[in-house]
Structure 1
Amino acid sequence: MKILTVVGARPQFIKASMLSKAIQSEGKMEEILVHTGQHYDANMSTIFFNQLKLPKPDYYLGIGSGSHGEQTANMLAKLESIMISMEPDIVLVYGDTNSTLAGSLAAAKLHIPIAHVESGLRSYNKEMPEEINRIVTDHLSSWLFCPSQTAMTNLKKEGITSGVYQTGDIMFDAVLFFKNQALKQSTLRNDLTLKKNNYYLATIHRAENTDQVERLTAILTGLQQLDKTVVLPLHPRTKQKIEQYKLTDLITHTQIKTIEPVNYFDMLAVASDAKAILTDSGGLQKEAYMLQVPCVTLREETEWIETLETGWNQLVGADTQQIVKSMKDLSIPTNSPLLYGDGKTSSLIHNLLLQTYNKNH
């Protein structure tokens, strides 16, 4: 049984590393790994692959940046050619990036069954490109692996009930597997002289925040006014927009420590020891919950509504006053149920693919 896996962004490398470990240890599937190059920082990609011990990609497409249409079209053409050549039994995609969409469309046109890991997420905000990508991918997939009960419910509302499985979240596997190693190996906290629970971690990268000068200004102003140091790894797009809007003075404030994008181990270690996390990233909201660190989401909605219901996450949008208030009123919930499985999602997905594919062939 031959699986072709498509990855292109750093969170996908992390997820794929866990399932690839399961595939390798069982030895019942052959995996062909395709890296689209959507995250085009080659150095960071290499570091991620090395840290996670992810197999070297069989194909590297080197797509890089571009408009959504241009990026997706370039991936689509190259992925189609590889799929025709390799004739995989299943195409496996992760999450909701343009790489996810391109992999799904190429496979669907060639009548190759698709398996979607992290299926069923919905923000119900179609202005987000990720929302379009995940909806299309879910409606094309034969296997839909859901991280939570909410995701299962979302699919049912859209009439998708066949091939749907609640598997838990594969990122939880990665957090459990890599956390201790990350805390031992990462030197970033010492390099930045950070003490546990005495700083905040912030990330900003979504177009809805970076492409609107008012929102970006409001968020950065809010971070300036917090009572502890804010560590801010600067996403390339965010950095470019800050320069374009002439907002550099907002991040040279003594309260904010801007750093270059960080590898997975550094991010895991810095997130784990933070007093709280402020982010517009979907993945980091969830990881904050898994690490039992309170989270404030710089958006008007979230796909991870379970984190809101348990009190570990709150939505503040791009409102300066709400950002400041959220940290003043910060409390740590006493309850953290296992919302996202038991850390054995990769093994479960592997076994489900094997069983259901063999049963149907």
Structure 2
Amino acid sequence: MKFLAGLVVLIAIIGAIVLPQIFYIVDETQLAIVTRFGEPRVSITSPGLYVKTPFVETVRYFEKRILIFDAPPDSLLTEDKKRLVIDVYARARIVDPLLFFKTVNSEAQATSRAIDIIGSELRREIALDTQIEVILETREGIMNRVRDSVTPKLLDFGIQTVDVRIKRADFPDTIADSVYARMQAERQRIADRERAEGFERDAEVRANVDRQAAIIRAEAERDAQIIRGEGEAEAVRIFAESLGQDPEFYAFQRSLQAYKVFLPENGTTFVLPADSSLFQFLQTPGGIGQFDVPQVSAESTESTGSEVALELLAANYLAGKLDVGANELTLVRTNATEWSDASLGCPRPDMAYPQAVTPGFEITFEHEGGNYAVHSNGDASYMTSCQ
């Protein structure tokens, strides 16, 4: 039993040593070549289990999947003699492992050779375009042309090119700040131009609005002057017609207005020429009819110049109502007062009066033992009596 056990162990050891030298496996992600004493004999491109001569032949494996050949960033000159930092990479796969082994031997060597070829073709293509064109316009075309140029050269190594891409095309660090400054200045210039055009448009709109407003105001002022002139002409016409109907009444009314203006609240002394007509309506002869001076009782208070005219008018108004002479009336008092409406405290049943406080005077006279009150508004343009 011990002998059999030892024999099994020996066979197992021999199998573990000999079998890997006879059989080898190629999986889906691998390519392989078989070499005899370092010389390539056969290439394997399909996955499976294969047999080789033990201890004489060896197997080299290569990546069947896509390889990335990533070139370091390089500073390249453009057509306008400006530099750009270009970062490029290529994608490729090994399609002929035997040729690949004979030419570059390893993936590291293949990467180095591919980067050199890609860099050379990229440098040539970049030199055909300006810096701005590379950045803004021709990048896609450059990548396609580099790919087409590189493809036949890499096939000589058993490598099929899939794609060539530019990861980055940027300005060198030494000039990046100045480029950014120029870009900012350009944007600032555009912004200033847009802002200036906006200000210009704003000024045009404001000037147009101001002009239209000035035209509207001028037309409104013109129409107002026309309407005002027509109104004044109509007032003059009415005034002239009224004056023509009764010139003496007009003179009387104007005198009352003059008394109201220059006669003060407190009494004063006026020195006038002998032939002055200012107080012609306060004199006994002349004016409109006869203005008799009423008698003044001891109870009446001292009157001012303006009140004298008011009392004379009130005396003549009451004398006309009583059908007596004004000199037969005795002035008792003159009081300033206010009424709640325009009726002056003597409303008539058939009249409607504005409800507004109306200042005026109450002038009381005595005749044949009876007292009679005359109510007047402030400028004596309206008088009434409740008797």
Relative to the length of structure 1, the TM-score reads 0.21
More relative contact order, 1 or 2 (CA 8 Å, 6+ apart): 1
Relative to the length of structure 2, the TM-score reads 0.20
Larger Rg over CA atoms: 2
Please identify which structure carries the higher strand content: 2
